[in-house]
Structure 1
C-alpha cells in the first residue's frame, strides 16, 4: 500500500473511532440545492443577499449535532455545538459570509478567570464545500464514492473541550459557503475569518463566555498560517480581540518555498487549490494563468476545486505541475518569470508584521512538505521585530514520505501545544526563547 494511501487509511480509522462510519451517497437533492461531488450542501451554508455591516456579526445559527456525544451528569459530553454563519471582510475589502461552529464544553474550566475561548483554524481540508470543518464535526468521515472527507481536526477540538476550553472553528472564506470559491492560503482572508469567528462566538446567546474570557488561537499547516497571519493582523484589524497566545504549527509563511516543495509531492493537489484561490482573490491574474496553463492544467484546477484532501491524495498524488503548463515549466518557474505573480505572493508573506501577543511557532525538523526552514524563518523574523516568540523544533527522524513527515509533528506536538495555550489562558507569562533560536535546528 503506498504511503499516502496508508496515511489516508489511518485518518479514516481515526475518524471512525470518533464515532462515525462511512455513509452512502446523499438522496436526490432538491432542484435548487448546491451539490458538490454528490453531497448536498445544507441550505444553511448559502449566504443571504445582504450581510450585516459589522465584522463578526452573526447572520444565522442552528444546532449542530456532534458525531460523538455521550450523556453526562452535567450535560452531553463533550458539549453542545452551534453552527454559525457570520460576516467578515475579504482581502479586497469586500463583505463576505463565513461559516463555522461554536462548541460550549460541558466540562468545567478549572483555570483562573472565566471560561476561555480558543479559535481553531483548520489544516488543509480541500476546496469543495463538503470539506468544511464544521461539517466534519457532524460527520468526521464521509465516503460516498465521489469524495472522501475526514474531519481530523476533531481530535484537537475534543482535547480542548475536555479541559473546559470553549472552541470556535472557522470554515474560512468560501469553504462551506456556496457563493464563492475557497481562497486557500490567502493570509488576509484566513486571518479575518479567524478573528471574526471570535467576535461571532462572543455575541452568541446562551454561552458561558464573558467579557473577561481570555482568547487564544490554534492552527497547524494551513491553520498555522491562518493563526500566524491573525496574530499579525489582530492589532490593526481586531484590537477588540486581545490574544493571550497563538499556536502556529508548520505555518506556510513563504508560499514560493511551499509551492516548490509540494510540486510532485503526495499533496500536489494543493497547487491547484492555491492557484484557484489566487484567481478568486485577484481576477486580474487570470490572463496570466490562461496563458501558461494547458488543457490538462485547466482541467486539473477545475477538478480540484470541488475536492477534499482525501480526494486529492488519491487522484493527484505525485503530480507535477510541468504537465499542466504550455511550455513544460513548473509553476514555481512561471511565478519567477511573471512579476505580477511574484508581487502577489510577496504580499502573502507572513512575518512582516509584529504580533502584539505571545506566539508559539512549532515545525517538524524533517518536514519537507511545508518546509521546516521557511517556518523556522517565521520565528526568526518575528524575534527580530521584538515579538514574544516561543520556538519549538519538533525533532523527528525523516520517515521517507513527505506527507507523513508533515503530519507526524501535528500529532507529536499537539499535547504540548494545547498545554502551552492553556498556560496562556491561565494568565501565565510565556518564556520567549528568541535569544537562543539561532542556535536551534
Structure 2
C-alpha cells in the first residue's frame, strides 16, 4: 500500500511564531501557580451546570444551556482576550440506541480573524485518554490544563491545548468535546464508536448554533489516541448521521480502530487502567458484557473497575502502571483471553471497529510504527479499509524507534511529531 512518509513541511516563520506564543503561555502558567484549580466543596455551583434539565430538545446539536468559560490566564469580563472567547455548552447528542443524550463541551471563538477561503471554519477536537470520572471533563479544565481534587484524591490533565491554540491563532473556531458521560450523569462510554462519533458530530452542530455561524460553514475533526478514534468515527458517520454538516477534513492520529488489538497492547503498560475505562463503558451499554464481567472478574478486579470508573488519567498511572489484567480475573487469564472465550463479548468489541463506513471528506491518518499503545497494524488496516471504499486517505507512518517500551513514550512522541502536520492538513482542506 502506498504511504506518505515523513512529516509534511510547513513554513518556518509560522512555526516560529506559534512556538513563541505557546512558550509564553506555558511560562506564564507556570509562574502563576495560583491558577491551578483545586476542587473543594465550593465547586458544587460549577457541578450544577452539568445536571441536565428534566426536559430538553431532542434535536441533535441543540444547545440546552451555556455559560462563559475563561481560558488560561484570562481575566473574567475583559474584552477581546487572546486567543478567543470560550463558552461552555450543554447540547443534545445521542446514545447508541438513538435516545437523546445531554452532553457538554466548550466552543472557543478566536480573536484572530479567519484569513482563509470562505466562512470561518470550525474544528471539533476529541481529547485523548483523559479519564472516566466527571472531574476529568475537559470543559472543567479550560482555565488551567490540570485539576486536583483533594477529596478523592484525583489528578486530571487536559492536553488539548496545543491543537486548540494552534487553530485559534489561525482564526479557526474550536469545539472541545467532553464526550457522553464525562461531567454529565452516567458512565463515560470510553471508545464506544457510535457515542463518541455522535458527540463529535453534534458538537459541530452545537458550535455553529452557539456562535451564530452559517449552517454550511466548513467543519473538520481532529484528535489523537482516544481523540483520534473519536475523530475517525465522526468522519465515517458524518454521511449518514450528519449529512447537514459541511465536512472538509479530519486529522485522526493513532486511532484505536480495532479494540481487539488495542486491549492486549495496552495490558502491562503505564496506562493499563485504561482497559478498565473500556470495560466499564461496554458494561454500561451491553448487558451481555456486564454478565460476563461479573462472572469472570475476581474481587480485586471488581474493585479495580469500580475505582477506575472514578479516575482520571493521572490516577490510573499512579495506581495501575505496568499491572496486568490477569490479576483481575478468576482464572488468571488476561482480559483479552476472556473476551476471546466469550463470542458474545467478542461481537460487542467488534461492533466498535472503525473502518466499515467511508468518510465523506479527506482524512489525514497517522500511525506510529513502534507505538506501544495503539498497534500500528490496525491503523494501517483502517487506511486499507477506507481506501477500499473510495475514501481519500493520506496515511503517514511515524518511524520513531522503540524507546522505553510499555512506558507510552512511543505513543507520545508520534503525537508531538504529527500535531503540526495534522493541523496544516486541516487548514489546507479549508482553503481547497
For normalisation by structure 2, the TM-score amounts to 0.89
Tell me how far 1:21 sits from its aligned partner: 5.2
Do residues 306 (structure 1) and 313 (structure 2) align?
no
Among 100, 109, 112, the alignment partner of 1:107 is 112
2:144 maps to 1:131? no
* Mapped contact 1:216–1:246 kept (Cα < 8 A): yes
Shift of 1:150: 1.2
- Runs of 4+ aligned residues of structure 1 deviating over 6 Å after TM superposition are none
- Deviation, 1:153, is 0.8
| Closer/same/farther in 2, CA of residues 74 and 96 from structure 1, 3 Å limit | closer
Pair 1:239–1:20, CA change in 2 (3 A):
farther
Distance 1:79 1:413 in 2: 24
2:396 is equivalent to residue 392 of structure 1: yes
State the Cα distance separating 1:287 from its structure 2 match. Answer: 1.4
Cα distance, 1:63 vs structure 2: 0.4
The 3-state SS of whatever aligns with 2:67 is strand
Per-residue CA deviation, residues 23-71 of structure 1 (Å, 9 max, x unaligned), is 47533358xx5xxxxxx86210111222212011110000001123389
Quick check: 1:317 aligned with 2:324?
no
8 Å CA contact 2:35–2:73 kept in 1: the answer is no
Candidates 47, 70, 82, aligned match of 1:42: 47
Deviation at 1:17, TM superposition (A): 4.4
Decide whether aligned partners of structure 1 residues 119 and 234 sit closer, same or farther in structure 2, where only a CA change above 3 A counts. Answer: same
Q: 2:382 aligns with which of 378, 381, 384?
A: 378
Alignment correspondent of 2:276: 272
Q: Distance in 1 between matches of 2:301 and 2:123?
A: 39
CA separation in 2, counterparts of 1:63 and 1:70?
12
Q: Tell me whether 1:172 sits opposite 2:176 in the alignment.
A: no
Can you list the C-alpha shifts for 1:137-175, whole angstroms capped at 9, x where unaligned? 123122244111111111210111001100011100101
Residue deviations 1:235-270, cap 9 Å, x none? 110000131001110000000100000111111000
CA drift at 1:376? 1.4
For the structure 1 residues 24 and 412, does the alpha-carbon distance in structure 2 shift closer, same or farther, using more than 3 Å as the test?
Answer: closer
Preserved CA contact (<8 Å) 1:22 1:143: no
Secondary structure of 1:184's match? coil
Alignment partners' CA distance in 2, 1:378 and 1:120? 20
Whether 1:204 aligns to 2:204 is: no
For the 8 Å contact 1:62–1:82, the answer to whether it is kept is yes
**1:138 match: secondary structure:** coil
For structure 2, the residue ranges without an aligned partner over 5 or more in a row are 1-25
Give yes or no for the alignment of 1:195 onto 2:208. no
Report the CA distance shift for 1:19/1:158 in structure 2 as closer, same or farther (over 3 A). Answer: farther
Cα offset for 1:218? 0.5
2:240 to 236, 243, 258: 236
CA offsets 1:190-238 (integer angstroms, 9 cap, x no match): 0000000011111115x5x334421111011001101111111111100
Give secondary structure in 2 for the equivalent of 1:356: coil
Report the CA distance shift for 1:22/1:289 in structure 2 as closer, same or farther (over 3 A).
farther
Distance 2:33 2:251 in 1: 29
Equivalent runs, 1:308-387 vs 2, <5 Å: 308-387=312-391
Change (3 A) 1:25 1:272: same
Q: Separation in 1 of the partners of 2:114 and 2:325?
A: 49
Work out which of the residue numbers 210, 214, 217 in structure 2 matches 1:213: 217
Aligned equivalents of 1:169, 1:198: Cα separation in 2: 10
TM-score, normalised via structure 1 length: 0.87
Equivalents in 2 of 1:141, 1:175: separation in Å?
16
Cα distance, 1:20 vs structure 2? 5.4
SS at 1:386 equivalent: coil
Deviation at 1:74, TM superposition (A): 7.9
Mapping for residues 272-291 of structure 1, pairs under 5 Å? 272-291=276-295
Does the CA contact (< 8 Å) of 2:216 and 2:245 recur in 1? Answer: no
Q: Specify the alignment match of 1:433 in structure 2.
A: none
Structure 1 range deviating more: 330-339 or 48-57: 48-57
The answer to which of 313-322 and 211-220 deviates more is: 211-220
Number of residue pairs matched by the alignment: 403
Whole-angstrom distance in 1 between the partners of 2:30 and 2:121: 28
Offset of residue 275 of structure 1? 0.5
Q: Is 2:110–2:172's contact at 8 Å kept on the other side of the alignment?
A: yes
Once the two structures are TM-superposed, the CA of residue 22 in structure 1 deviates from its matched residue by: 7.1
In the alignment, is the contact (CA less than 8 A) between 2:29 and 2:73 conserved in 1?
A: no
1:183 to 175, 178, 189: 189
Farther off after superposition, 186-195 or 107-116: 107-116
Going from structure 1 to structure 2, the CA distance change for 1:337 and 1:136 (only over 3 Å counts) comes to same
